[in-house]
Amino acid sequence: MIEINNLYKKFGKLSVLDGLDLEIKSGGIFAILGPNGSGKTTLIKSVLGMVIPDSGEIKIDNNSVLNQWDYRNQINYLPQIANFPANLTVNELLAMVKNLRPKAANEKELISVFGLESFLDKKLGNLSGGTKQKVNIVLTFMFDSDLIILDEPTTGLDPIALIHLKEIIQSEKEKGKTLLITTHIMSLVDEIADEIVFLLDGNIYFKGSVDQLKTQTGQTSLERAIANLIAKENV
């Protein structure tokens, strides 16, 4: 379970997280939504300890994670932009990340699902954006962790890879994992998310299921419901 209390973060004068409170129960898929610059990535990076909040508290399973590092062994993180050292091959990268974690990895299966076998000896700098994202996904899902954080997982993926990704996400959910996903693709949210967390101006603007959101805004499609949420704020 993740528990976030009164989280504040400013970048210079720009206040990104403004006293955010959030509780996420174990198990299920949580979609973190919000317009560009609403603090989604900052929130995720705070949980990972990559961004250090100005004040507030983040607890995972009742243990504070600020200034800790070993809890990250229980988190798989898919970064928004897949940037890897260009002079390593895919195999070397996989070996290195495996080396860093004292856990068993099942990368073979994932590599074959995404058809990456022929790329294994290629340098990461020579891969296309979509292929890099696939490597990124393999890196993220090859470990068995309780919490999986995906920041824009669909960027650059072809439709087939997207289907595979959805299958993987579903199967992880069935194993009882907690998944946090940020995305701008509403059909994906509609399809897989159990609960929506809508961020606006550094605070939680809405939290609940997809159906709740639809009834609350009186819209039938999720896309319109979200647009409605953003529009209401601007009036």
Residues of this chain that interact with another protein (CB under 8 A) are 11, 45, 48-52, 67, 69-73, 75, 77, 79, 81, 83-85, 87-88, 97, 100-101
By C-beta, is 40 or 217 nearer to another protein?
A: 40
Please name the residue that has the structure tokens 């309780």.
146
Token output for 160: 């087939």
By C-beta, is 34 or 79 nearer to another protein?
A: 79
CB of 42 to another protein, least distance (A): 8
By C-beta, is 84 or 205 nearer to another protein?
A: 84
By C-beta, is 82 or 110 nearer to another protein?
A: 82
> Which candidate, 113, 111, 83, places its Cα nearest to that of 98?
111
58 class by beta-carbon count within 10 Å (0-12 exposed, 13-18 middle, 19+ buried): buried
CB of 69 to another protein, least distance (A): 5
Which three-class secondary structure state does DSSP give residue 217? helix
Q: Where are the beta strands (DSSP E) in the chain?
A: 2-11, 14-24, 28-33, 55-60, 63-64, 75-78, 147-151, 178-182, 195-200, 203-208
Token output for 196: 């929506």
Q: Is residue 197 within 8 Å of residue 38, measured between CB atoms?
A: no
CB of 22 to another protein, least distance (A): 19
CB of 191 to another protein, least distance (A): 26
By C-beta, is 29 or 149 nearer to another protein?
A: 149
> Which candidate, 164, 114, 158, places its Cα nearest to that of 134?
114
By C-beta, is 124 or 157 nearer to another protein?
A: 124
CB of 56 to another protein, least distance (A): 14
CB of 41 to another protein, least distance (A): 11
| Cα angle 121-122-125, degrees, rounded to a multiple of 5 | 145
